[in-house]
Structure formats: structure tokens, C-alpha cells
Amino acid sequence: MGAMLFYVLEVLTGTGLAASAGLNAYIPMLAMGLLARYTEVINLPSGWQWLSNGWVIAILTVLLAIEVVADKVPVVDHINDMVQTVVRPTAGGLVFGAGAGSETVTVTDPAGFFQSNQWVPIAAGVVIALGVHGLKAAARPVINTATAGVGAPVASTAEDATSVIMSVVAILLPALVLVFAVLLIGAAVWIFRRRSARRSERAAARAAGFHV
């Protein structure tokens, strides 16, 4: 039972970190690197020690600063989301793998990598982060249209804050990741309803213009 609970908590930690990466690729990576380097809160597996390297932390800090600014400017945020379609899922795979205690193997032995199933947590992280990124990218046009672009920095700040909180919670209190999962599902339902309503409104407007 104890081993099963430990496994479940590891999976929840990886899930929370991957979901956080779907909102902001660099926040969970920085959180893990900083906590591993300066505290005893987290001990990274040997294959992921590079996350706590000083140069890696510095580079992630610069990338985060660029991301924070770009994501708060209407139109630019859309371009940024297109670029991040690759970056965020990649980061999600990395942080899930590190958070769930997965070890990496050298690229000289790709067969061993797949046979050992070490790719499973990384793939899971990619899927989770891609899903959250998709929700974020779908919600932003709705928010920008509804607020004439004014809501972009507010939404972006809220997403960054959520990413920070989720990263910390995933590491310290992984059971609470389930709460974030429920909130994300609720957000997904709201987004798809809003997009459906917008399509209906546009269709009605086109129909009205055609009959005039």
C-alpha cells in the first residue's frame, strides 16, 4: 500500500508540473531547478541534475522574462502561442519525467530507452502539457475579443500565477493537483461553450445580413 501511494503521488507531481508547463514552459522547470539547487525540498534523479545547473537556471530565467512580456501583448501573444506549441509540450515531458523520478538514458541507446518504458512519463507529460496549452491558446482569442485586447495582460498574469502555484503544489502537496484538474476541466467546458456561442452569433449575423 505504501509503495502504491508513493507511486500515485509521483504521478500527481508529474501531472501537476506538466500541466503547469502547458501554461508557461519555464516556470515549472525553474521551480524544480531552484528548489533542487538551494533547498532540500526536492532531489532530482541523476539524469535530471542538469535542471539545477546555474547556467541552465540563468537561461531559463531569461526565457521566462521574454515569455512573460510577449504573452501580455495582444496579437504578439497569439504568435507566441504558436511558437510555444512545441516548447510547452517539450517542457511538460521533461518536468513530468523529472518529477515522477524517471531516469534518462543516453541517445546512443534509443532501443534501451523504449524497452525500459522510460519514455512513458515523458510522453504523458507531453500530452498533458499539449492539452493545457491548447486550452490556453483557445481561450486567449475569446478573452481578447470580449475585452478588445485589454484582458490579455490580466489573463496572462493569472496564467503565470496559476503556473507558479501549481508547480509548488505539485512538488509540496501533490494530492492537491486533483483540485487543479477539476478547475482545468471546468475551464475547458467554459471555453468550448464560449467558442460555440461565438460561432452561433457569427452564423446568425451572416444569416441576417443575407436576408436583408
Residue-wise pLDDT for 7-17, tens only, equals: 777 888 888 89
For residue 105, what pLDDT is reported? 38
- Count of the separate structural domains present in the chain: 1
For residue 62, what pLDDT is reported? 96
For residue 77, what pLDDT is reported? 85
In 3D space, the residue among 30, 26, 184, 46 whose CA is nearest the CA of residue 91 turns out to be 26
For residue 56, what pLDDT is reported? 94
For residue 208, what pLDDT is reported? 62
Q: Which residues of the chain have pLDDT under 50?
A: 102-110, 113-114, 212
For residue 48, what pLDDT is reported? 80
For residue 60, what pLDDT is reported? 95
Domain that residue 130 falls in = 2-211
For residue 29, what pLDDT is reported? 93
